[in-house]
Amino acid sequence: MTARSGEDLALVHRFVGGDRSAFDALVRAHEDRVFSVCLRVMTNREAALDATQETFLTLYRKADRFTGQAAFSTWLYRVAVNTCYDLLRKEKRRRADPLPEHLEPVDARGGDGFTSAELGPDLTKALAHIPDDFRVAVILSDLEDRPIAEIAEILNIPPGTAKSRIFRGRRLLADILRNQDDGPRRPRNDQDA
C-alpha cells in the first residue's frame, strides 16, 4: 500500500464517520487527475467539468461503498469513467469540438513542453474519433500511466481485454494521426543531413 493509498483510506473512513473536511481533502488530492481523465474521455471542457462534478457527487453519496479492496484512486477512476459513459449516452454521442489550442493544458510528462503542446490538438481530435472503449483504455494507459491490472479493474474487464483495447486503440489512433498529415512526406535523403 502506498502512502497516498493509506492517506486516502484514512480520509474515506473519516468522511464516512462524519468529517466533511476529509471529503474536501479527497477532492483536493484527486480533482486534477479526475478532471484530466474526464476531459480526455469527454473531449469537451464543459462536459468534462460536469463529469468531474458528478464524479465527486457520487463519491459524496457513495463513499461508504468503498470497500478498500482496490486503491481508492482505482475506485474513483472507475466512478469517473462510468460517469463519463453515462453522460455520453445521455448526449447520444453528440460530440463537441475539442478544446481550442490555447486552453489545452500542457502535459508535464510529455517531455518538451513545446512539443507536447504542439501534439495536443491533433491527439485530442484523434481520440475523439475512436470508440469509447478503446479511447478510455488508451487514455488510462498512455496519458494517465496506469498499469494494465488497474485499467482492467477500473473498466471491470479482464486484463487481456484491457491489453487488446489499448492495442486496438493505439492502432486506430496511429491510422487517424497518419491520415491527418496534410501533405505528402518527402523521402529522407542522407545527403540532406
Span 46-89, pLDDT tens digits: 999 999 999 999 999 999 999 888 899 999 999 999 999 999 88
Helices (H), 91-158: 113-128, 132-138, 148-155
Same domain? 77 vs 146: no
Same domain? 70 vs 155: no
Q: Are 43 and 95 in contact (CB under 8 A)?
A: yes
Half-sphere exposure of 135 (CA within 13 A, CB side): 22
**By CB neighbour count within 10 A (0-12 exposed, 13-18 middle, 19+ buried), where does 29 fall?**
middle
Provide the residue range defining the domain that includes 66.
1-96
Whether the pLDDT of residue 180 is over 90: the answer is: no
In a domain, 34, yes or no: yes
Provide CB contacts within 8 A for 21, sequence distance 6+.
none
Same domain? 92 vs 107: no
Same domain? 25 vs 91: yes
Is the pTM here over 0.75, yes or no? no
Residue 24: predicted pLDDT: 94
Number of separate domains in the chain: 2
Which of 96, 124, 157 lies at the terminal end of a domain, its last residue?
A: 96
Same domain? 5 vs 80: yes
Percent of the chain with pLDDT over 90: 51
